[in-house]
Structures are given as structure tokens and as C-alpha cells.
Amino acid sequence: MPLLIPLTCPRCGSDLAGGAGARIFLCTKCLRAQFMERPEVSYPVVFIQPVLAQGESLLYVPFWRVSGKASLNCPDHKKAERYKSVKALGPLMVPAYWSPRADYYEDFALRYAREPDKLIPGPEAGGTILDGVRAPATLPEIARLTWLAYLDRFADVTGVRLTFKVESTAYACVPFFREGRGYVEGIFGTSIPGSFLVEESPVPSLSTKLP
């Protein structure tokens, strides 16, 4: 692979948009996202409509939306019966952004997957988009393990074989609102600290006041 790749859309030829540290760039005309280290594949960009309109300004946070089919092979009939009563997960939302705080990732991914009806695609509402960095290569394995972890809550998964076949992958931009030093997530209204999302900020200068 060449070390320098032109930042142009292979479909329409227009410039791709992304920040200094981004590895995923967007064509705002075709609404396609491209992981630049595999430029031959592009993914549709989906903007999720905010359910709650609040906060100071809108920031779109990118997730990989993975839709697919989970198939289960469970030799234990009792367990299989239990799993049948479990509500199926919707498309999985795997964070595509980088965060130094790991503790919110799983919460959001599972919450979105359990209530997929709340994630309604719509037009872009004019916010900035956070840089996407995470490679899509591991999404099938992440999806498989997310399903297994979900099923393990209902019955132990020893002896269970689960396969996940990815049917479609999209680059979903979920609305968040800046509020003070933190953010409010635009679907469920969850407040999160400012440290969750990493945005560029000016370096404060050293005070000239001497102690």
C-alpha cells in the first residue's frame, strides 16, 4: 500500500473531510466513509436524529453500526430454551472514536443494541463530527463477543457456539450536545464528563505570576 493516499472520494472526486488524527475520512457529497488504510472499501454514513434537543452545540460522535445474524448452537436444551426467551439485540454500535476513558463504551453499545428503534436516521443537523480512528476489521469478532456476553447474562455460555455473520456495516454519527465541560447524549439524555470525548483545545500558557 502506498504511504501517501490522495484525500479524494473515489466515487465523485471531491475532497474527503477529517481531522488531523482521523483515520476515517468522509465524503460529504456521497455520504460515504472510508477507512484510509483500506481505501478500496467505503461505508455509508448515517446521521442519527437527536431525540432530545438540548445543550450548547451539537457534536456527532462516530460509531460503526454492525447489522448481522447471530446463529447459536447450544447442545444443552435447558439453556437453549432460556436463550429463546431473550430479546434479540438490534444493530450493534461499536465506537469508532478514540477515548481515554473506557468505562462508557460497553454501556452505550449495549444500550443502543437493546433499543434500536430509538436510533432513527435523518438528515445532518449541522454539527461537527468527531474524528473516527478505529479500524473496522475486528467488527465481526467484537459483534460475536458482544452477543456472547449478552447471552451469558441469562445462562452460562459453556459449550455454546455462536457465529455472527455481518450483513451490513455503516458509519453512524450519533448526536451529542456540549454542556458546560461535559456532554449530553442526544438519544437517551445521558450526561457524560468532558473527558469521554477528546477534542482539540489550546495549550494554556504558563502564568507569569511568580509565587
Partner 1 sequence: MSSPRALACPTCGGTVSPPLGSRKTSCGFCGKKLYYSGPDFVPRFYVEPGELEETIRRNCAALFKSRMTPRDMNRRSRLVSRERLFVPFYLITGKRGGVMQTGRERVVRKPPSWDTRIDQTAFGTGTVLPSRSIRPEVTVEEDSRVTLGDFQYLYPAAVMEEWNFSDVELRSVVSKHLERVHPVRMSALIKQGELLDANLPVEQILAKGVASVASTSGEIKVLDHHVAVVYVPLVRLTFQYSEHIFHLVAEELEGNVLSGRLPFRRDWGFLLGFPLVAVLGFLVGQSLQGFHTQAVQGTFHMKEAGQVLGVIALFWAILAGLGLQAAWYFIRTPFIVRVSPGGARIEEAGASPKNPFTPVNKFIWDVLKGLFSGTRRRSF
* Site of interaction with partner 1 (CB under 8 A): 1-8, 15-16, 18-23, 25, 36-37, 98, 100-102, 105-106, 133-135, 137-138, 141-142, 145-146, 148-149, 152, 156-160, 193-195, 198-207, 209-211
Q: Are 48 and 174 in contact (CB under 8 A)?
A: yes
Q: Least Å distance between CB 65 and partner 1?
A: 17
Q: Least Å distance between CB 134 and partner 1?
A: 6
* Residue number with CB closer to partner 1 (126 or 204): 204
CA dihedral of 170, 31, 196, 107, whole degrees rounded to 10: -20
Give me 130's grid cell: 468527531
Q: Least Å distance between CB 136 and partner 1?
A: 10
Q: Least Å distance between CB 99 and partner 1?
A: 8
* Residue number with CB closer to partner 1 (29 or 101): 101
Q: Are 171 and 43 in contact (CB under 8 A)?
A: yes
CB neighbour burial string for 165-198, b if at least 16 within 10 angstroms, e if fewer:
eeeebbbbbbbbbbeeebbbbbbeeeebeeebbe
* Residue number with CB closer to partner 1 (50 or 95): 95
Q: Are 45 and 9 in contact (CB under 8 A)?
A: no
Q: Least Å distance between CB 80 and partner 1?
A: 16
* Residue number with CB closer to partner 1 (37 or 115): 37
- The CA distance from 39 to 3, in Å, is 12
- The CA distance from 64 to 138, in Å, is 11
- The CA distance from 18 to 69, in Å, is 32
